[in-house]
Structure 1
Amino acid sequence: MNKHASPIRSLLSCTDVEIVRTNLEMEKQRMPQTTLQKFLRFLDVPHDDKPLSALRNPDLEPIGLSERVWGFWSFFAYWGLPNFAVATFSTGSALLALDLNIQQSIGALTIANVLIAVFTILNSNPAVKYHLGYTLSQRMVFGIYGSYLGIIIRVGISVVFYGYQAWLGGLCFNMVFDSFSHNYLHMANTFPESVPMAKKDLIGFLCFQLVQMPFAYVRPSRVNVPSIVTCLMTLFAIIGMLAYLMNTNGGPGPLYYKKVNLSVSQRSWAWLYAMTIWYSGISPAVANQSDYSRFSSNTWRCYAGLFIGIVLPGTFVSLAGMLCASACKGLYGTAYWTPNEIVEEWLSNSYSSKGRAAAFFIGISFTGSQVFLNLTQNGYPCGMDLAGIFPRYINVTRGTLFVQLVSWVVQPWTFFNTSSAFLNAMSSFGIFVTPIVTLNVIEFYWIRRSKITLLDFFTLSPKGAYWYDHGFNWKSLLVLIVGIVLGLPGLVYETQPEIKVNTGMMNYYYGYMFFIPVVTGVLYYGLTKAFPNHHEKLRQDDPVDFFNCFSDKETADMGMLPHSKANMCEVLDAAEPHNYADEIILGEGKEEV
């Protein structure tokens, strides 16, 4: 080895040098000449002189130590938000409709939550170790260009779910307004019958949207504290509702004692479908996990927060919702499945100061949880994904504002106030994200053996580790299509009951939470064995901390040279075609650094 060669040049292979050189060319800022070029330059996202290219902006880079501030309670709250929410509180209405009773429904949910927690932890590890989000992981799985498919799928789901959760948030907001004014509680609906919404519902929805919009300017890593606060508030609100209804009714009510008249086979499939329904509602959060696990300050606190946040609130809130509905059935003759229905019943019976105070606290608690639930599960993730598609022009803030504005297009009021098949189709959303999560786990653990190179996420060089075949990993794309297609017949049967059902495909749909990971996992692993990836950087870490995202301990554990201004100057110098190219020595010098 040349004794004058720098440590950086000794560590970099010729492939690394070419990739750095390609990236520098992509990130070079050229002076705009035409009016159009000047306008496009004006639209560039703020980047504080950080690199900007067709694949990179600051929000896409692996994050540094300053943003890794999430501990146990932050991850508990991240999963507490979808659990301390209206949708989870009302889950029992769907499960009891399967002819299960409350005890059996909770049994199915407990098993499902444990499995979901394990699946989520597995999916989160690339982010915990390498501090990268969902968008970059798609490049690892599907290729630089193929990643757009996985990103677009999640963008579509985020837009639909954002509108759905915002409408629920508007209903929660109305509890607060109901506590302010008796006239608002009994507001007349002046809309014609052809409009599938009430006037006060529209007011609540509009106000909720306006409250959410300023949070688009808050960094996702900084919403952990208000998320913790709103989770605790909603927990106390649920406990208060449950205690009052159970005490007033003198017991759990008639639904608790419902008898089950199903055969063993029917009961087994009902349990399986109950688990799938529950999983489907939170499956986008499972897929999103990498976007937030990268904020982890400690690996085991992250895992503990995820596990407990999924299992305990997910089981307790669903049970509380069922018991509240059962007690309402005994008290009022109707099973109310949402908090706003219960509050309206209280205020309609007695518009007292006590009832108004309860309505205000319950309303503000559920509204807060809906705000941060919608932001963390749908708003910010959609912003991150759109940044992956248009890095030069969209960052997390702009993308979040976009989904807030276009969520009106899906007309979420029709989900609740018409005979739309949307609510039935809600149990199918996991069909689209489960293959993606499975492929991510297989690719990271089995194919790459928990070692990936970050430099290659931002290159169009054919020598990049995620270039595959012209930017597409055909194996993973084929498996994704197979995984989705196999679940579609069941979705059609569920939304179109007049169609003759194929029992096998219907059963596959009932249990796709289990069947899709098995089918797609085995198929993908088999294809990678039959057509292996022989890339020279497979199962390797970067030789240098190019993005200044690792601590000294992490770089030491991975055998990586730490980032510093001096080191990076040498990297850039080594990448110049006229300097030191003949001094790059493959595989040598690492021991001397």
Structure 2
Amino acid sequence: MNTNDLEKPVLSANNASALHCVMSKTDIEIAQEERALETSSEPSTALGRFLRKLEVPHEGKPLSVLRNPDLEPVPDKERTWGFWSYFAYWGLPNFSVATFSTGSALLALDLNIQQSIGALVIANVLIAVATILNSNPGIKYHIGFTLDQRMIFGIYGSYLGIIIRVGLSVVMYGYSAWLGGLCMNMIFDSFSFNYLNMKNTFPESVPMARKDLIGFLCFQLVQMPFAFVKPRRVNIPSIVTCFMALFATIGLLAYLTKTNGGPGPIFYEKVTLSASQRSWMWLFAITIWYSGVSMGVANQSDFSRFSSNKMACYSGLFIGTVLPGTFISLAGMLCASACQGLYGEAYWTPDEIVSQWLNDNYSSKARAASFFIGISFTGSQMFLNLTQNGYACGMDLAGIFPKYINVVRGTLFVQLISWVVQPWTFFNTSSSFLTAMSSFGIFTTPIVTINVIDYYLVRRSKISLLDFFTLSKKGTYWYNHGVNWRAIFSLLAGIALGIPGLVYSVQTQLKANEGMMNYFYGYFFFIPLVSGVSYAILCYFFPYRPEKFGMEDPIDYFNCFSENELQALGMLPFDDSQGDIYEIIDAREQDENSDSVIDEIDFTNKAKH
């Protein structure tokens, strides 16, 4: 008989004996430890009752200091993202104002347009490869960034990686929301000439215009309701807004280059750097571009877990990264160059270009262009901010306070707290924030590197899902008191070597150390060597081998895998509609029918082979 034709038993309370045959004693102890975390008595104090009311809605699902429904592996029926969803998810950072204006940062390195595009092509290919490597915990096991951090840093150590990502999310949410407000002003400008030329009533000490504040406020208000939308459901509007921004960019490029009669003077500028200087600036250009998307690379599992097909995810993110990332950047540089020829000034953002048109001639044609370009970039900026920063921060905060924060509450939190970073100061003062942005990858690159090394080389792509939600010392991710010191050391080593270059780039009056600056210019390449090699060496000389290390769960405890996945993993399905795992364990403790045990052991072994 072909074993593929065998019908595997579905484990439930009705055949608890079978469950105990494939669950080790350690698995049972871990599951019982999880139950202890999830069990809470009725609060007897007013504070306790108040905190109980604050707990996240969980509809009868387990809830503990380590677990809520948003942290569990994504079930098969909710994994609906295909090629276009991942094309859009990785296209959004490219179909945005920041990418359109990338040339202003790259040309400031004394590279010309041709050199800058060459560096961007290399950067985009490398980013896509790094993202694919970091996707697989989400694709294979359907877990997000939070559980990734528990895997590499330990149950308690994971808070370090999560807090780093939360901090960057808050800052970048405010930054992207401010750019979104500028895009929204293009829409309002098309409605009213008075709004276009609104006078600023703020004192000079306030580094923003009243008009910009209105746009920012409106953009924030429009974004806020999307906090209540499940992240996996924003793929369709993301696809639509990507193509709207693409058509808007093509329209800008076609009109400006045709009107100017060519690409403009910046396009023909020569590179005056020496060969050595040019090489380091190429590295820095690659690093600058990578830094802007490094946070998305780090938390890729948050969205790769929605994948319905591995190859669709790979191809969608690769094409969505490489093609738009190159074309939009090139279009932005050519538009700025054409503006230099037409208006005597290089405009690096769409709102500056549109403002020039409207002030030259407030005609119906110019207003229509302003409206379409404005709504296109507003849409792409909105879903970029939600997916890359809003939802991502919500998922991270859910990992820190699972009982009280889910994705909805976490997203609302970052929307409200993003005002604190005062994003208007990033653009309207001498703030060194825009320079410091090129260093954000210093904090996320070690996380990506350690995750890839740990998943592929140390664990051989095999992890246990049951152990993510326990404080048991037998759990795979307990390490030493809940902390994997090997990963922590490797993380800090990679970050520490990049900090001096960051300081030198911000504090230009300091005399820079050439070696440290070169490390900073190429940290996209150097940090993986430092953090990756140090982690591999530490794991070799100080191995961590708990009882379940490198083992997968024998049972689909979370009822999240498809039939094909269960067969590939050699895992038995679990029917949680007939009782949770704890009820089945309790039932087995009352049932010592040895005959059924022998039958199920024999069947399970056949099914696995």
TM-score (norm: length of structure 1):
0.97
Let me know the Cα RMSD of the aligned residues. Answer: 1.7
- Greater mean deviation of Cα atoms: 138-147 or 20-29: 20-29
> 3-state SS of the aligned residue for 1:591?
helix
Aligned CA distance change for structure 1 residues 125 and 459 (closer, same or farther; 3 Å): same
The one-letter code sitting in structure 1 at the alignment partner of 2:156 is Y
Q: Distance in 2 between matches of 1:158 and 1:421?
A: 18
Which residue among 157, 161, 166 is the counterpart of 1:155? 166
Deviation at 1:440, TM superposition (A): 0.6
Aligned CA distance change for structure 1 residues 320 and 570 (closer, same or farther; 3 Å): closer
In the other structure, the counterpart of 1:385 is: 396
Deviation at 1:592, TM superposition (A): 4.8
Aligned CA distance change for structure 1 residues 56 and 566 (closer, same or farther; 3 Å): closer
In the other structure, the counterpart of 2:10 is: none
In the other structure, the counterpart of 1:453 is: 464
Which residues in structure 2 correspond to 1:143-222 (within 5 Å)? 143-222=154-233
In the other structure, the counterpart of 1:475 is: 486
In the other structure, the counterpart of 2:521 is: 510
In the other structure, the counterpart of 1:9 is: 20
Which residue among 1, 15, 19 is the counterpart of 2:30? 19
The one-letter code sitting in structure 2 at the alignment partner of 1:315 is T
1:485 aligns with 2:499: no
Which residues in structure 2 correspond to 1:15-94 (within 5 Å)? 15-94=26-105
> 3-state SS of the aligned residue for 1:191?
coil
In the other structure, the counterpart of 1:140 is: 151
Deviation at 1:575, TM superposition (A): 5.4
Q: Deviations over 1:363-396 (max 9, x none)?
A: 0000000110000000001000110000000000
CA contact (8 A) 1:8 1:571 kept: no
Deviation at 1:66, TM superposition (A): 2.2
Q: Distance in 2 between matches of 1:402 and 1:73?
A: 29
Which residue among 329, 338, 342 is the counterpart of 1:331? 342
Deviation at 1:31, TM superposition (A): 1.4
The one-letter code sitting in structure 2 at the alignment partner of 1:81 is L
In the other structure, the counterpart of 2:237 is: 226
1:110 aligns with 2:121: yes
Q: Distance in 2 between matches of 1:526 and 1:97?
A: 39
1:395 aligns with 2:409: no
1:301 aligns with 2:318: no
1:314 aligns with 2:328: no
Which residue among 517, 525, 548 is the counterpart of 2:536? 525
The one-letter code sitting in structure 2 at the alignment partner of 1:161 is M
> 3-state SS of the aligned residue for 2:300?
helix
> 3-state SS of the aligned residue for 1:59?
helix
In the other structure, the counterpart of 1:286 is: 297
CA contact (8 A) 2:16 2:585 kept: no
Which residue among 356, 361, 364 is the counterpart of 1:345? 356
The one-letter code sitting in structure 2 at the alignment partner of 1:462 is K
In the other structure, the counterpart of 2:268 is: 257
Deviation at 1:560, TM superposition (A): 0.5
Aligned CA distance change for structure 1 residues 374 and 566 (closer, same or farther; 3 Å): closer
In the other structure, the counterpart of 1:275 is: 286
Q: Distance in 2 between matches of 1:402 and 1:569?
A: 32
TM-score (norm: length of structure 2):
0.95
Q: Deviations over 1:399-438 (max 9, x none)?
A: 0000000000000000000001100000000000000011
In the other structure, the counterpart of 2:258 is: 247
Q: Deviations over 1:63-115 (max 9, x none)?
A: 11221010000000001110000000000000001110000100000001000
CA contact (8 A) 1:8 1:567 kept: no
Q: Distance in 1 between matches of 2:590 and 2:231?
A: 41
1:591 aligns with 2:605: yes
Q: Distance in 2 between matches of 1:573 and 1:5?
A: 5
Deviation at 1:30, TM superposition (A): 2.0
Deviation at 1:518, TM superposition (A): 1.2
Which sections of structure 1, spanning at least 5 residues, go unmatched?
none
In the other structure, the counterpart of 2:11 is: none
Q: Deviations over 1:145-191 (max 9, x none)?
A: 00000000000000000000000000000000000000000000000
Which residues in structure 2 correspond to 1:113-124 (within 5 Å)? 113-124=124-135
Q: Distance in 2 between matches of 1:102 and 1:577?
A: 70
1:236 aligns with 2:243: no
Q: Distance in 2 between matches of 1:162 and 1:569?
A: 39
Q: Distance in 1 between matches of 2:62 and 2:346?
A: 56
The one-letter code sitting in structure 1 at the alignment partner of 2:233 is R
Q: Distance in 1 between matches of 2:40 and 2:556?
A: 23
The one-letter code sitting in structure 1 at the alignment partner of 2:138 is A
Q: Distance in 2 between matches of 1:49 and 1:420?
A: 49
The one-letter code sitting in structure 1 at the alignment partner of 2:605 is E
Q: Distance in 1 between matches of 2:529 and 2:322?
A: 23
CA contact (8 A) 2:397 2:406 kept: yes
Which sections of structure 2, spanning at least 5 residues, go unmatched?
1-14
CA contact (8 A) 1:8 1:570 kept: no
Which residue among 108, 129, 138 is the counterpart of 1:97? 108
Overall identity of the aligned pairs, in %: 70
> 3-state SS of the aligned residue for 1:45?
coil
Q: Distance in 1 between matches of 2:589 and 2:238?
A: 53
Deviation at 1:578, TM superposition (A): 5.3
In the other structure, the counterpart of 2:450 is: 439
Q: Distance in 2 between matches of 1:256 and 1:303?
A: 34
- Greater mean deviation of Cα atoms: 479-488 or 30-39: 30-39
